[in-house]
Amino acid sequence: QGLLDEFDIIECFEQPGAQIRIGEVTKRQKALYENIGISPPTSLQ
């Protein structure tokens, strides 16, 4: 549950007609993604 809670705080912003933007991903979150073999999300701008 703790792992899911860590990922749950990553914010996602949507606007009609625009790409989804991802909020800040911390170093700890990036490391957790990499440890489970998944590429961390990146901001789309």
* Residue 23 · residue 11 · CB < 8 Å: yes
Residue 45 pLDDT: 44
pLDDT the model gives residue 43: 58
Residue pair 32/3 in contact (Cβ under 8 Å)? The answer is yes
What per-residue confidence (pLDDT) applies to 34? 92
Averages of pLDDT over runs of 10 residues in the chain (45 residues) are 84 89 90 91 62
Rounded to two decimals, the pTM is 0.69
- The three-point CA angle 38-29-5 to 5° equals 100
Q: If we measure between CA atoms, which residue out of 4, 43, 44 comes closest to residue 24?
A: 43
